[in-house]
Amino acid sequence: MLGGSVFAAIATDSEIERVLKQGPLGLGPSHEGLPADDSIYYLQLLSQFSPVTVSAERYGDFNGAEQAMFADHNPSLDDYRVTVRSPLISRFKLGQRPQDKAGGKKPDLRLGIQELEYIHSTMQTSIGQVDEFNLTRNTPLKRITTWVSVPKDNAVHFLVERNMAGGETRAFGHIERRTISLRVVLQARIESEVGALRIPMPVLDDYEPFEDSRHGALPDKQRQLLNPFNNEPVPYWIVKEVAM
C-alpha cells in the first residue's frame, strides 16, 4: 500500500512539482533530461516559474474600453483578439528588430495563427443517428503584426482578422454544421545568465536540445484520423486551439 500511495502522489504532481522533486533540488538528476550540466536544469526550472498563457476571444465580446485599444484599425466585431500573458512579457522585445542585419535572427516572440473549419455531419439512418466530425479547411499559418501591450497585466493583445464563418445546412435528414476554431502556436526566446531560454521548454525525460532545423518552424495543423480536434505536442511550442 505504501508503494502504491507514493506512486499515486508522484503521478498526480504538476509539471513544476515534478521538476522540483526529480531534479537536483530533490531526488537528483536521474533523468536523461537532467545531465551533469546544471545550466540545463536551471533553464527548465526558469521556464516553469515563468509560464506563458494564451487565450482567444471574439473582438465583439469585449466592452467599449477594451475595444477602444484597436479602434484605429477599424476591426470587425467578428475579428479575434488573442492575448499572451507571462511574467517575462517585457523580455520578449516586441516591436524591436532582430539585431542580425542579414535577417538571419528570428524575433524573440514567434506567434502564428490559423483558422480551422470543422464540419459536424449528422444523418438519420434506419439504425439511428450517425455523427461524423471532419477538418475540412484551414488557412495557412500567418504572423500577426497588430498588437497592444498592457504592462500592468503582463499581457499583450493581438488583433486577428476573421476570414472564415460557421453555418448550417439541412437536407433530407442530413445536417451539416460548420464551426470555426482558432489555432495559436507560440515560441518565446529570452536571454538568461546561462544562455538562451526558450519557452515552453521540454523538461525531465521529454527534454531535448533545441535545434533550429527541427524546432524553429511554425508547426502547421496535422490531420488526425481518429480525432480531428487533436493537436500533436510539439517540443518548444505552445499549441492551443480555441473554438470560436
Q: What is the pLDDT of residues 7-21, one digit of tens each?
A: 444 456 777 777 777
In this structure, are residues 237 and 187 in contact, taking their beta carbons and an 8 Å threshold? yes
Exposure of 161 by Cβ count < 10 A (0-12 exposed, 13-18 middle, 19+ buried)? middle
- Tell me what pLDDT residue 134 has: 93
Q: Where are the domains of the chain?
A: 51-92+106-217+224-243
Q: What is the pLDDT of residues 35-80, one digit of tens each?
A: 566 777 778 888 888 889 999 999 999 999 999 999 899 999 999 9
In this structure, are residues 243 and 179 in contact, taking their beta carbons and an 8 Å threshold? yes
Q: What is the pLDDT of residues 160-189, one digit of tens each?
A: 999 999 998 988 878 999 999 999 999 998
In this structure, are residues 228 and 183 in contact, taking their beta carbons and an 8 Å threshold? no
- Tell me what pLDDT residue 2 has: 42
DSSP state of 40: H
Average pLDDT of the chain is 83
pTM for the complete prediction?
0.81
Q: What is the pLDDT of residues 137-154, one digit of tens each?
A: 999 998 887 999 999 999
